[in-house]
Amino acid sequence: MSRVSVTGSKRVMDDAIEAIHGLDLLHVTDYDGTWEGFDPGDPIEGADEAAEKLVTVRALQSTLGVTEADAGQPRIIRDDELDAELENVRQRVNELDDERSELEDELREIDDAIDTARPFAELGIDIDLFAGYDSLTAAVGEGDAEEIRSALEEAAAIEAYELFEGGGYVGVFVYPEADLQEALVGVSFTEYEIPETDDAATSPEAYIDQLRTRRERVESRLDGVESDLEEVGDEVASFLFAAEEKLAIEVQKREAPLTFATTDNAFISEGWIPTERRSEMEDALEAAVGDHVEVEELERAAYDGEGHAHDRESVDPSDPAGPGGPAEEVAADGGTTMSTSAPPVIQDNSGAVKPFESLIEVINRPKYSELDPTLILFLTFPLFFGFMIGDVGYGLLYMGLGYLIMRRFESGAVRSLGGVGVYAGAFTVVFGVLYGEFFGLHQLGEIVWGGNPPIHKGLQPHFIYYAYAWLLASAVAGVAHLVVGRVFDFVNNLEHGVGEAFMESGSWIILTVGTWWWVFTATALGPKPNFMFSVFAAEGMTNPATGEPITEGVALPLGFNGFSSVELFALPVVGTVSLQILTILVGLALVLRVEGAIGLVESITQAFGHVVSYTRIAAVLLAKAGMALAVNLLVFGAYLHDGEFHLIFFAEAAELSEAQAANEVIFGGLLNADGGVMLALGVLFGIVVLVLGHVLVLVLGITSAGLQAIRLEYVEFFGKFYEGGGKKYAPFGHERTYTTED
């Protein structure tokens, strides 16, 4: 990617803009106004008029509710055609829209009138009886009838009154004429307006019927207007989208000088362009304006395989070989460059990884000097999510929902989230097969694994040691994840030199690895739980915490029963120093040198605390499994046998009888109610609980497992190396979709 300067005479500026725009290659940077004698350029004549037309077109699109699906085939649209047809469409749409607004206002007035007349219908008193008196005051409203009655009796100015109640409303007649608000001070009374009717003798019921009849006529007219607007939308959608694109291009071109540095006679523009296509722009400009424009390469940024700049070099224009001279000497004005913008970021991830860029965008696009973490996010987020849910049924639903989102939504960001859902669901299915679970039911394990799936979630009392194993595995995953983050940070810091990168990032790697290396050694066994040295061991190995052979409680037989302590030397008072302790001390010393005294606190929170944070993976795993089990237990019933929960609905008669005799039935289950009405109600209610319960688990899987997984990515992982703030490569130009020039 090359940073180039385009300098030329103002006489050819319009032609140069046209040529550059047609290439759709130059990512233009804004002039920051710091050059003496240079001002930001003014828009080309006609920019305001084109912008006003663009606003009109977009307003018409909104009014008609047309979408891109209605646009039709690309078309040629000429200036005279645009102006004439746009004015015609504007008048037609505005007339219909004004009529629609009037009818909607009339409907609201009718609804208000119906609401106003409703109290009179509830009281059963004709509306005309509340108006036309010279010596009486009449009112209708809401309030406590007893409080109003008491206030009227105590009012000295009132000689007589009559009060009516009905439907929560109160009607009051007072003699002689008096100020009711004054008479009812301290009493809650909301007075309603007396409606004006065409017929003074109309009853409230008849009046409401008249209003409803009128409302039906207005609604019918409104439906006709809506239908007319829909027909107009179908007719002009293609034109509106073509006009929007044409005007957007025109506005883009005419407002381009706002980013230029200009004098009375010259203009200068800078931007970034793919290095291999720089000559293409030079040729296009030469063909358009000849030698009235000069293009110079100021700087070159080399991009890695991920599309991020990893090396920036200034360019000496006197050296045809390219990079070499300082950028300050080759700027277009002979001084400094016109802005300090960094190269734009081009993310070039594969199709499978690309949806996860949307999760990166939530924070911000990577800076040009940063590694893109999208690939790591693609590998770890679905893994964390799938491991925590681990159910074939839920996984298939997640995949289906993700696919539906990808197909139904037009927004690229929303479609990307659908792609993330598909991958997360796929990992959920994979782990569901390994766990042998389908909506929390273990019958899948019976079918696929003959009742012995390779791993368990650890919720069952008999398999509790799997929960311990996942707790440790979560911590190990945390160490690996955070070390990768520190490696990314090391690479990002290499621009400051290997030594500084090592101090900034390598110190934390040494401290984190050393800390957990020591945690998993068979030393200082007092505070370390016994299962640390057994769940990943092999039967027959010795548990160093107990000194006894391991005969049970092995989740994954990896042959690990703790690291051996590598003793190095002995010190007075301190005692023997192991390699693990020395690693921690070296890492801590390096951290303190970089961070200062605060590094002592951060060494605890980051090297230890942030790793412990990953144990939430095991916690969510058990929580979601427990919720699914609770739903199935309520519906199917369950009993305990050999430390395992078995569902009654799928149980063998002999085993169930044995459990009943041993009083090991936990819950009978809605589907196992006694015959007759109770069984029918149990089945009906059981189906409702089963569906709603698993829908709840499905939703909470997103809000808990999804949020916890992304939190680990954003807070623990990204926090080690990621800053963001890069700008997307957005070349000056427009990819035509609805218009064509041919």
Helix (H, G, I), strand (E, B) or coil at 665: strand
Work out the average pLDDT over 67-74.
84
> DSSP strand E in 80-185: where?
137-143, 160-166, 169-175
Helix (H, G, I), strand (E, B) or coil at 728: strand
Q: Tens digits of per-residue pLDDT, 392-432?
A: 999 999 999 999 999 888 788 899 999 999 999 999 999 99
Token output for 590:
């390096």
Statement: residue 281 has pLDDT above 80: yes
Q: From residue 424, how far is each of 391, 409, 438 by CA, in Å?
A: 12, 19, 16
Band (205; pLDDT cuts 50, 70, 90): confident
* pLDDT at residue 459, as a whole number: 87
* pLDDT at residue 307, as a whole number: 45
Q: Tens digits of per-residue pLDDT, 515-547?
A: 999 999 998 888 899 999 999 999 889 999 888
Q: Tens digits of per-residue pLDDT, 10-48?
A: 999 999 999 999 999 999 999 988 888 899 999 999 999
Rounded Cα distance between 528 and 519, Å, is 8
CB neighbours (10 Å) of residue 428? 28
Least-confidence region, from 124-133, 536-545, 561-570: 124-133
Classify burial at 411, counting beta carbons within 10 Å of its beta carbon; exposed 0-12, middle 13-18, buried 19 or more: exposed
Measure CA 108 to chain center: 37
Helix (H, G, I), strand (E, B) or coil at 636: helix
Q: Please, are residues 195 and 113 in contact by the beta-carbon 8 Å criterion?
A: yes
Helix (H, G, I), strand (E, B) or coil at 637: coil
* pTM for this entry: 0.75
Q: Please, are residues 521 and 580 in contact by the beta-carbon 8 Å criterion?
A: yes
Least-confidence region, from 88-102, 153-167, 403-417, 562-576: 562-576
Average pLDDT over the chain reads: 87
Query: In CATH, which of 2.60.40, 3.30.70, 3.30.310, 1.10.260 is domain 2-44+255-329?
Result: 3.30.70
* pLDDT at residue 271, as a whole number: 92
Q: From residue 339, how far is each of 5, 28, 253, 260, 336 by CA, in Å?
A: 11, 11, 21, 11, 8
Band (314; pLDDT cuts 50, 70, 90): low
Rounded Cα distance between 530 and 11, Å, is 83
- State the DSSP H helix or E strand holding residue 110, giving kind and residue range, or none if neither: helix 79-123
CB neighbours (10 Å) of residue 232? 18
* pLDDT at residue 495, as a whole number: 79
Q: Please, are residues 534 and 554 in contact by the beta-carbon 8 Å criterion?
A: yes
Rounded Cα distance between 488 and 547, Å, is 41
Residue where the block lists tokens 């909607």: 104
Token output for 210:
């008249």
* pLDDT at residue 245, as a whole number: 93
Rounded Cα distance between 426 and 117, Å, is 60
Measure CA of the first residue to CA of the last residue in the chain; give whole Å: 31
- Rounded to the nearest 10 degrees, how much is the dihedral formed by the CA atoms of 417, 418, 424, 426? -160
* pLDDT at residue 655, as a whole number: 67
Q: Please, are residues 561 and 533 in contact by the beta-carbon 8 Å criterion?
A: yes
CB neighbours (10 Å) of residue 417? 19
Band (63; pLDDT cuts 50, 70, 90): very high
* pLDDT at residue 637, as a whole number: 84
Q: Please, are residues 689 and 631 in contact by the beta-carbon 8 Å criterion?
A: yes
Q: Tens digits of per-residue pLDDT, 168-204?
A: 899 989 888 888 878 888 888 888 888 877 655 568 8
Rounded Cα distance between 672 and 648, Å, is 8
Beta bridge mates, 640: 645
Token output for 324:
């070499």
Angular region, 528: left φ>0, alpha ψ -120 to 50, beta rest: beta
Q: Please, are residues 604 and 588 in contact by the beta-carbon 8 Å criterion?
A: no
Nearest to 268 by CA among 45, 40, 3: 40
- State the DSSP H helix or E strand holding residue 309, giving kind and residue range, or none if neither: strand 309-314
Q: Tens digits of per-residue pLDDT, 438-481?
A: 999 888 888 899 888 999 999 888 899 999 999 999 999 999 99
* pLDDT at residue 311, as a whole number: 56
Q: Please, are residues 478 and 716 in contact by the beta-carbon 8 Å criterion?
A: yes
For the chain, give every residue range classified as CATH 3.30.70: 2-44+255-329
Rounded Cα distance between 459 and 623, Å, is 9
DSSP structure class, residue 713:
I
Work out the average pLDDT over 592-601.
89
Angular region, 452: left φ>0, alpha ψ -120 to 50, beta rest: beta
Q: Please, are residues 489 and 504 in contact by the beta-carbon 8 Å criterion?
A: yes
Q: Tens digits of per-residue pLDDT, 234-277?
A: 999 999 999 999 999 999 999 999 999 999 999 999 999 988 89
Token output for 164:
């009516």
Nearest to 637 by CA among 611, 674, 602: 674
Statement: residue 309 has pLDDT above 60: no
Band (558; pLDDT cuts 50, 70, 90): very high
For residues 526-548, one letter each, b for 16 or more C-beta atoms within 10 angstroms of the residue's C-beta and e for the rest, the string is eebebbbbbbbbeeebbbbbeee
What is 460-520 written as a DSSP string?
SGGGHHHHHHHHHHHHHHHHHHHHHHHHHHHHHHGGG-HHHHIIIIIHHHHHHHHHHHHHT
Q: Tens digits of per-residue pLDDT, 692-720?
A: 999 999 999 988 999 999 999 999 999 99
Which residues 6+ apart lie within 8 Å of 405 measured at CB? 414, 415, 417, 418, 421
Rounded Cα distance between 722 and 181, Å, is 67
Measure CA 210 to chain center: 50
Residues in the chain: 742
> Which one is predicted more confidently, 192 or 586?
586
